[in-house]
Amino acid sequence: MTADNSRVVTILCLLTLVLEGYDVVMYGTVVPSLLEYEPWGLTASEIGWLGSILGLGMLAGALLAASFGDRMGRRRTLLISVTVFSAAMTVCAATRDYEVFAVSRFAVGVGIGFLMPTATAAIVEFAPAAWRNRAVSLGFAGTSVGGIAAGLLSVWLIPTLGFHAMFWAGALPAILLIPALWLLFPQAPAGAPRGLPMVTPPDQAPKIALSQVFQAANARTTLSYWALMVICLLLIFGTVTWLPKLMGGAGYSVAAALTFLLVLNIGGLIGTLSGGWLADRFGVQAIIVAGFLAAGLALFGLICKPPTLVACLLVVVAGSGTVGTQILLNAWVASSYPATCRAAGVGLALGVGRLGAIAGPTYGGYVISAGAGYSWQLAAFALPAVAAAVIASTVRPRPPEFSAETQ
């Protein structure tokens, strides 16, 4: 394994993760158009159900990655995930049938869910130990880049070409990426001299059992990772859904309330890019604890209804401490398992964590509909962040036996 291979893998994974970030944000941009699309006549609840389909597909994809990712190899798994994603996005763009569209949205989620744990494992395995966390953070910055691209494209694509054009814009780059993965993604060399050992060839790999994942990092650590994933994704999806309404209810203008959502994503990008460097310098666990704690304190700070500029700075911290921390969680989990069950460990953690992504918007809606005041609404998101910091500080992972690193 060479540094050049590490760079190629990181860049290719970054490009695939741009697709994931694009799709998650893109769906929100087409919701108004879907509500006005007369041939389907969708209600708001049906639109919400379509959004949940993606999350369920991501859950299924993550669990599939946990079952088969380590045995199939990173290159083959990435090719399959991008192929499924691009095919499903193409159907979404071309179909005018609601049922076909709904099934395709589920398939898009499966491709995304399969992609994320595989990309994490691939970057971790090819990157030298000295900058592994930075490599993962750089690769996963693609999710923020994709989200920004979706927001920018929606401004002129939807008014001029309609909402289907947003799906074409996600499908076509995916189709172009497949040949690049096929030609450029390096095969795992035997007896790699540096970095983490490569995944076992598919015909030699043992069947991965859930018990092996629990044994590799011990049951308590694995369950702690699952809890952290659930809380982090609940915070991300919950705040993305409800932050504008919460801030509008606090008396901020409509324009400012919408700006907070953009600022939240900017904070996520800052946290993603800086988190890896900080983790390599001070340790990934310490930065994850600090990230969760900072996000919780920032959300508590918003309860005071500070001036708009101060509020924006607090929202940047909240975004950095949630989205940025999620990326570091992926790296932390991946580095805690040996190569024989790394994708299984990450896939299971992300799969369970998807429950938080599905529950986040519903959780926020319940708190708001229950009649809680502004302070309690924000506290409902701040408290889980602080709880996650406590959980992360108590984790004592057992380092896996990475023989290649000890040579």
Please, what sign has the CA dihedral across residues 63, 64, 70, 73?
negative
Q: What is the pLDDT of residue 390?
A: 96
| 223 Cβ neighbours under 8 A, 6+ residues apart | none
Helices 325-335 and 342-369, axial angle in degrees (round to 10): 150
Select from 135, 146, 194 the least CA-distant residue to 169: 146
AA identity, residue 99:
E
Q: For the chain, which residues score pLDDT lower than 70?
A: 1-3, 28-29, 32, 44-45, 48, 66-70, 187-212, 214-217, 241, 244, 254-259, 261, 340, 343, 397-407
Q: What's the CA gap between 276 and 72, in Å, rounded? A: 28
**Would 3-184 and 210-397 be classified into the same CATH topology?**
yes
Write down the CATH number for the domain with range 3-184.
Answer: 1.20.1250.20
**Domain segments of the chain as ranges:** 3-184, 210-397
| 80 Cβ neighbours under 8 A, 6+ residues apart | 72, 114
Question: Which pair of tokens denotes residue 267?
Answer: 């904070």
AA identity, residue 271:
G
Instruction: Please state, in angstroms and as integers, the Cα–Cα distance from residue 112 to each residue in 14, 23, 58, 206, 371, following that order.
Output: 13, 9, 6, 25, 36
| 0.75 exceeded by pTM | no
**Tens of pLDDT, residues 45-94:** 677 677 777 878 888 887 777 666 667 777 888 888 889 988 999 999 99
Please, what sign has the CA dihedral across residues 226, 230, 235, 236?
positive
Q: What's the CA gap between 351 and 66, in Å, rounded? A: 8
Q: What is the pLDDT of residue 106?
A: 92
Q: What's the CA gap between 244 and 21, in Å, rounded? A: 20
Q: CATH assignment of 210-397, given 1.20.1250.20, 2.20.28.10, 3.10.580.10, 2.60.40.10? A: 1.20.1250.20
AA identity, residue 196:
L
Q: What's the CA gap between 30 and 46, in Å, rounded? A: 14
Select from 385, 356, 367, 362 the least CA-distant residue to 249: 367
